[in-house]
Amino acid sequence: MPIKKLSTYNLLIVFLIFGGTDQIRTGAQGVADPRLTAWLRFHKSSFFKNNTILLYFIHCVNKDDIMKWGEVMGKLYIVRHGKTEWNDLNIAQGSKDIPLNEEGIKTATQLSKEIDLSNIDFCISSPMQRAKQTAIILCNNKIPIIYDERLKERSFGDYEGKSMSMDIVKQQWDYNLNTSDNNIESIKECLDRANSFLNDIIKKYSDKNILIVSHGCLIKCLHYCINGYNENTDFFDFSPKNATLYEYEMPDIKKLAKC
C-alpha cells in the first residue's frame, strides 16, 4: 500500500524514530521494532492503526523516502497547439512557423474554458507562432508565459512543406535507425532536447504546477522521457492530439529516461 504524503506532525515523529538508522527491519517476520511499538502504544495514532501501513514502515522505510513524502510535488499540464492549415493538409510543419487556422483558434478557446488556471502557477511555451497563439488563448492574461526554444517542434529538414509517406514517418521514429537523412532532427536528438527541458524544470520548479504548450513530436518525446523508453519502444503508442490536455505528476529527475 503506497503512502504519498505524511502530515507534518507524523513526518516529524517518524523521522525522530528512524533518524538514527538508514533502514529499520525486524528480527523476525511480523514482529515490530520495539521503538515503533512503544510509540504506537503511547500515542495511539490512528495513522498507524492499519496493519499494512505498519508493516510497510517496518520493512521498507528509510530516511530519504520519508523526506520525499514530506515534499509537495507539482504537476505538468501539457497541451499540443491547436490545428493549422498544414495539419489539415497532412503537411510536415517542423520548423516552419505556421499560424493557427480558424478551427485551431476555436478548439484552443474551448480548451481554455476547461482548464482551471487557479491551480497553475505559470505557462512555458514553444515560441513558434502556432504554440504561442495557443498559449496566449489558454492563459488569457491570467498567468505568465515563458518561452523556451527547447519546446519547438522537431525539424523535418527537407520534408518540411511536403506530405510524408508512412514509411518515411516510421523511419523517423525508429530508435535503432536514428536517422538524420534529408536534414531531419534525429529521434535521439529530439529526446535529448526533451530530457534537457525536463531536467531544468524539475530542478527549478519541482513544487509548481506548470502548463506546457508545445508540438506533436516534442510532446511525444516528453511523454517517453517521463514514462521510459528503450530500443524496442513503439513510439506510435502515444500520439498527442491538437488542443488536448495531458496531465503528468512532476517526474523524479533520477528516473528520467535518457538516450
Give the domain ranges of the chain: 8-69, 75-255
Residues 222, 224, 227, 231: what is their CA dihedral angle, to the nearest 10 degrees?
-150
Can you give the pLDDT at residue 257?
A: 79
> What cell was used for 152?
519547438
pLDDT at 1: 38
CB 25 within 8 A of CB 58: yes
pTM of the model: 0.74
Spans in the chain with pLDDT lower than 70: 1-72, 259
Bridge partner list, 248: 76
Domain 75-255: give its CATH architecture. Answer: 3-Layer(aba) Sandwich (3.40)
Distance from the first to the final alpha carbon of the chain: 32
Read off the pLDDT of residues 45-95 as tens digits, 9 standing for 90 and up: 454 455 445 445 545 555 455 444 545 689 999 999 999 999 999 999 999
The per-residue pLDDT for 12 is 44
The pLDDT, as a whole number, for residue 37 is 54
Cβ distance 73 to 249 under 8 Å?
yes
Pairing assessment for the beta strands 245-249 and 75-80 based on DSSP bridges: antiparallel
Q: Minimal CA–CA distance to 245: which of 203, 213, 217?
A: 213
CA 123 to chain centre: 14
Q: Which amino acid is at 40?
A: L
Nine-digit cell at 82? 491547436
Contact 213, 76 (CB under 8 A): no
